Amino acid sequence: MLRYADRRTLVTGGGSGIGQATVLRILSEGGSVVAADVSEAGLADTVTRAGADAERLKTVVMNIADETSVKEGVAAALGFLGGLDALVNAAGILRSSHTEQTTLESFEQVIRINLVGTFLVIREAVPALKEGNGAAVVNFSSTSAGFAHPYMAAYAASKGGVQSMTHALAAEYAKAGIRFTAVQPGSISSGMTDGSGQSRQSTGPGLPDDADMSLFLKLAPALGQGFAGPETVAGVVAMLASEDGAFITGTEIRIDGGTHF
């Protein structure tokens, strides 16, 4: 199914995890994609995994927490694509700690990357999206935005902000023809959650050594299949940013295997 034939997409966090899976999914559906990430190594891995589809893929090293980097990165993406029809904001970090031991620097870093970074990319992309075909933006919130995930106060605050911002943007740009939605991944295995990823501007959750693991007993997928792979989320993102999602805006979709009913 080539839903993305003649469709131009920018994916941040495209060097690993869900961002990378999204890049590969959209390429497989015929799209032209720019994958942006802070990690050159991660982007190189994405190109390798793309195989023959890499002819429709360009990579851009971009730090979404840096305004200049975002301006230059989005401009480079638009130069390659010749316009923009879809934007996927998958880049983010996850840090965990006891709140009373969390430094201001660490708290602000999470907010800066996850929330401010998402804003910066959207701001730079909106003019092109206004001229795009069936323009759509998919932001990354999290189940942490609405459910208690201990030791992750900064992350929860950042993702709650992304979710609220998504609703506001959907209203602001509805008449301009740009749809804004958000996904809420949970119980997904990726570089961010297992600590192995060096891209997507991410580090693992790094729970405190004395974390009370009993607080996580209710965070298991109800479907009984364990954590799902990043391609599980990528499929939903691809739907939302395609014409199949043409009547969906100003809302979020939770993808967590029934971890939170």
| 116 lies in some domain | no
pLDDT at 209: 87
| Domain that includes residue 63, residue range | 8-106+121-255
pLDDT at 196: 39
Q: Is residue 115 part of a domain?
A: no
Task: Kindly state whether residue 3 falls inside one of the protein's structural domains.
Answer: no
Quick one: pLDDT at residue 199? 35
Whether 261 maps to a domain, the answer reads no
What is the per-residue pLDDT for 218?
Answer: 64
Q: What is the pTM of this model?
A: 0.92
What's the token pair of residue 225? 């299949």
CATH number of the domain enclosing 193? 3.40.50.720
Residue 66 lies in a domain: yes
Angle 19-24-29 from CA coordinates, rounded to 5°: 125
The DSSP string of 80-100 is HHSS-SEEEE---------GG
Distances (CA, A) of 248 to 14, 170, 220, 241, 251: 24, 10, 28, 10, 7
pLDDT at residue 94, rounded to an integer: 95
Number of domains in the chain: 1
Which residues are part of the catalytic machinery?
Answer: 155
pLDDT tens digits, the chain, 261 residues: what are they? 799 999 999 999 999 999 999 999 999 999 999 999 999 999 999 999 999 999 999 999 999 999 999 999 999 999 999 999 999 999 999 999 999 999 999 999 999 999 999 999 999 999 999 999 999 999 999 999 999 889 999 999 999 999 999 999 999 999 999 999 999 998 887 655 454 333 334 334 578 988 888 877 666 787 766 788 999 999 999 999 999 999 999 999 999 988 888
pLDDT of 116: 98
Whether residue 192 is contained in a domain is answered as yes
- CA distances to 129, 148, 152, 185, 245 from 97, rounded to whole Å, are 38, 14, 7, 21, 37
Establish if 248 belongs to a structural domain: yes
pLDDT for residue 197:
36
pLDDT score recorded for residue 243 = 97
β-bridge partners, 60 = 36
Residue 41 near residue 61 (C-beta atoms within 8 A): no
Residue 201: its pLDDT value, please? 41
- Residue 77 domain-assigned (yes or no): yes
